[in-house]
Amino acid sequence: MIIARLISLITGYVFGLFQTGYFYGKSRGIDIRNEGSGNAGTTNSLRVLGWKAGLITFLGDLFKAILAVVLVYFLFREKYPEAVKVLGLYAGFGAVLGHNFPCYLKFKGGKGIACTSGMILAVCPIAAPVCLALFIGSIAITRYVSLGSILVVVFYLVQVVLFGQLGYLSIAPSYLPEFYIVSGCFTLMALWRHRENIRRLLKGTENKFGSKNK
């Protein structure tokens, strides 16, 4: 199944290359990566270009991960029925890699939270309600989008392990360790991409939602 894993990862990467925020910004005559925080994701698009841009960017990045997972599902559902969720996870991770490190933009993309959210909805929807509640709740209380994003990826992993051990993921036991490991890669990737945000959160200098970049 090594080839299937590679195909899934590459498929996801190709879908992830569609940089919604970048293309939307270009349609408005700017390179979003040269504005605000320099990020090509939802939050920077929202801050620089407004609510419409933020919503379009979020939905575009969300659905490119979902579409990658769905395509891989149809490709391998008959050949690898017991492992198709794992392959979908690889597709989702590929989408995050393509979004974060687009080869045609000098590997300068976003942070992958919208893509990760799309993967959660497509592969592990049972984890979505808690992730959404934490994201909205933390922003409502603290106004830190980065904190909400970090909570999403951390508690996604916590739920995956919990639900996997309880038998709620509909995955063959032999594939559970791999599912945990790849899920952990999403969390580690997001934490690494948010490393500067984490430093600012610890120092109390992180930008709050609705405020201008410091």
Per-residue model confidence (pLDDT) at position 211: 63
Per-residue model confidence (pLDDT) at position 97: 98
Q: Are 87 and 54 in contact (CB under 8 A)?
A: no
Nearest CA among 7, 3, 27 for reference residue 15: 7
pLDDT reading at 122 higher than 50: yes
Quick one: average pLDDT of 153-167?
A: 97
Q: Are 72 and 8 in contact (CB under 8 A)?
A: yes
pTM of the model: 0.93
Q: Token digits for 89?
A: 């996870």
Window from 7-21, 22-36, 80-94 with minimum mean pLDDT: 22-36
State the alpha helices, DSSP H only, in the chain. Answer: 2-16, 20-27, 42-49, 51-76, 84-100, 113-123, 128-142, 145-166, 176-193, 195-203
Q: What is the 3-state secondary structure (H, E, C) of 65-109?
A: HHHHHHHHHHHHCCCCCCCHHHHHHHHHHHHHHHHHCCHHHCCCC
Q: Predicted confidence band at 41 (pLDDT cuts at 50, 70, 90)?
A: confident
Strongest mean pLDDT among 48-52, 120-124, 209-213? 120-124
Q: Predicted confidence band at 1 (pLDDT cuts at 50, 70, 90)?
A: confident
In terms of pLDDT, which residue wins out, 170 or 133? 133
CA distance 172 to 183: 16
Quick one: average pLDDT of 102-127?
A: 95
- What is the Cα gyration radius of the chain? 17
pLDDT reading at 39 higher than 90: no
Tell me, what DSSP letter sits at residue 62? H
Residue with tokens 């063959």: 172
pLDDT, tens digit, 9 for 90 and up, residues 52-80: 999 999 999 999 999 999 999 999 999 99
Per-residue model confidence (pLDDT) at position 36: 84
Average pLDDT of the chain is 94
CA distance 4 to 75: 9
pLDDT, tens digit, 9 for 90 and up, residues 169-212: 989 999 999 999 999 999 999 999 999 999 999 999 998 886 65
Q: Token digits for 73?
A: 């599902």
Nearest CA among 194, 205, 199 for reference residue 39: 194
